[in-house]
Amino acid sequence: MICARFLLLLNLLLCLAQESVQGGSIGFCYGRKGDNLPSPQLVAQIAVKESISKLRIYDYDQNVISAFAGTDISLIITIPNEELSNFQSEQQADNWVNHVLLPLTQSVKIELVTVGVEVITLTPEFSQYVLPAMMSIHTGLTKANLADQIKVSTANSMGVLQSSFPPSSGAFNESIKTAYMQPILDYLKAIGSVYMVNAYPYHAYMAESDDIALDYALFDPKDEVMDSGTNIAYTSLLTAQLDAVYFALEAMGHGELSVIVSETGWPTKGDSDESVANVQNAATYNNNLLMLVQNDTGTPRRPGQPLNAYIFSLFNEDEKTGKESERNWGVFSVDGTSFYYLDIEGTSNGAPQSFNGTGATWCVASPAASNESLEAGLNYACGEGNADCGPIQPGNPCFLPDSYFSHASYAYNSYYQRSGDNSAACNFGGSAMITTKDPSYGACIYPSDALLPSGNVYGSLSTRIQSDAAGLIFIITLVIFAI
């Protein structure tokens, strides 16, 4: 009897220990509205090389999905809005599950099927098909013994909320909350699924730039924003948006639902009236998003709750219509090089990144570096690194002195600044160093941005999580000796 009880307790504690070290995850959205994109096979290679473990695909193209066979990359696939009417019966869904999905699952990790994207706000004429399609597909997955492996949900924009500020006022639009949202939320709970939201602080800032500070949208506020309903201070617009979603879910009786940020990001280029759409702000936003996820900070409403988020997007999509920013959300160029440094593996020290400070540090060539190593670093910075090397071309302000040391210093610093002043971006095979002395001279001005204090505004929980796990193991040891 004692043994049985001990084993039961041991299993419980081990499960708790395992859960305590599981954290949030970052994925990327893989949109394909472009005429110059790499093949899906090359995309799979890029994703593996860049340690990307999750991708979201906006259809269920079998050729695209099968390109990820044999990798550890988990996929979210999508039933496009215009196809929802084809999934209204069990027979239709069964046919798709058995002939499309099931064969793919033999070699590809598929974790979720998104039934439509922002249907109620983008294509409301299809909204009547969303829930029946979700139910039919989940039933088909159940019959195929895939329901425990693959979840079913649908992605909504922040536009489904009637109010999102202050976060505690979060509520779904009156026009849709009873007839549309409530049945979907009830079903998500019934099948153990998640709520998906596409949240874009960039769009919120562009719509209300008179009321929203740019640094707040970029996770680096000079002043905190208070929620008058809860007296909670917010340090980023994204966490405020998420808490508005949590409050809205709670108001509908579904505070138990987890939330996936199925799209978020920042564009690298825009029209003349979109000056905040630039490489610097994109690097700042996405690196700070990564730290928020990697630190398992959660939000003020749900502190410490792991967050799963998908960055939009892998590549620019030149066939999209609308403003210039719509075509320039990509993190990687079509050859697989990044437009800016992105700390996907969490190697930074946890300090928020910013391109908008007034300068404190620069990255320059090391006096001890050989010309060979400086030449290699210079070629990388001006090539794959996408540094601004125009000023060191003949006739421009930083061309003289014409030396590897001088040219490499300027190129290294350009790459470093574009990478958010992250120390990991100032290495170049050991030929670079960080300095607090401004290397500018004459008309040659080295751009600079201030490094922020080393404290993490989010408050890292990694130490606490490890401590909790260690504590559980310690309890297990005590139980063993007690018995």
Residue 447: which pLDDT band, with cuts at 50, 70 and 90? confident
pLDDT > 90 in the chain, percent: 70
> How many separate helices (H) and strands (E) can be counted in the chain?
16, 14
Q: Are residues 212 and 82 in the same domain?
A: yes
The pLDDT of residue 348: 55
Q: Are residues 377 and 318 in the same domain?
A: no
Asked if the model's pLDDT at residue 360 lies above 70, the reply is: no
The two structure tokens encoding residue 286: 């996405």
The pLDDT of residue 347: 58
Looking at residues 441-445, what average pLDDT do you find? 89
Query: Quick check: 77 and 65 in contact, CB under 8 A?
Result: yes
Total domain count for the chain?
A: 2
Query: Quick check: 192 and 141 in contact, CB under 8 A?
Result: no
d(CA 182, CA 176): 9
How do residues 32-68 score in pLDDT, each as one tens digit? 999 999 999 999 999 999 999 999 999 999 999 999 9
Instruction: Please give the torsion angle defined by the CA atoms of residues 274, 267, 300 and 17, in that order, rounded to the nearest 10 degrees.
Output: -170
Q: Determine whether 263 is an active site residue.
A: yes
Mean pLDDT of the chain: 86
Q: Is residue 195 part of a domain?
A: yes
Q: Are residues 197 and 245 in the same domain?
A: yes
315 versus 472: the higher-pLDDT residue is 315
Lowest mean pLDDT among 111-115, 202-206, 410-414, 437-441: 437-441
How do residues 410-425 score in pLDDT, each as one tens digit? 999 999 888 876 667 8
How do residues 130-156 score in pLDDT, each as one tens digit? 999 999 999 999 999 999 999 999 999
Catalytic residue among 90, 118, 224, 319: 118
Lowest mean pLDDT among 41-45, 210-214, 237-241, 339-343: 339-343
Q: Are residues 227 and 126 in the same domain?
A: yes
Q: Are residues 146 and 284 in the same domain?
A: yes
Catalytic residue among 263, 319, 372, 375: 263
To the nearest 10 degrees (0 to 180), the angle between helices 404-418 and 371-382 is 40
Q: Are residues 160 and 291 in the same domain?
A: yes
d(CA 446, CA 282): 21
210 versus 22: the higher-pLDDT residue is 210
The pLDDT of residue 21: 43
Q: Is residue 297 part of a domain?
A: yes
Looking at residues 300-321, what average pLDDT do you find? 96
Lowest mean pLDDT among 18-22, 174-178, 222-226, 350-354: 18-22
Q: Are residues 427 and 284 in the same domain?
A: no
Handedness of CA 397, 401, 407, 409 (dihedral sign): negative
How do residues 449-470 score in pLDDT, each as one tens digit? 643 333 333 333 333 333 344 4
Asked if the model's pLDDT at residue 346 lies above 80, the reply is: no
The pLDDT of residue 47: 96
Domain-terminating residue out of 274, 302, 327: 327
Structure-token match 């299993």, residue found: 11
d(CA 378, CA 428): 9
d(CA 273, CA 293): 31
| pTM of the predicted model as reported, rounded to 2 decimal places | 0.74
Task: Please give the residue range of the domain that contains residue 389.
Answer: 362-435
Percent of the chain as helix, strand, coil, to the nearest 5: 40, 15, 40
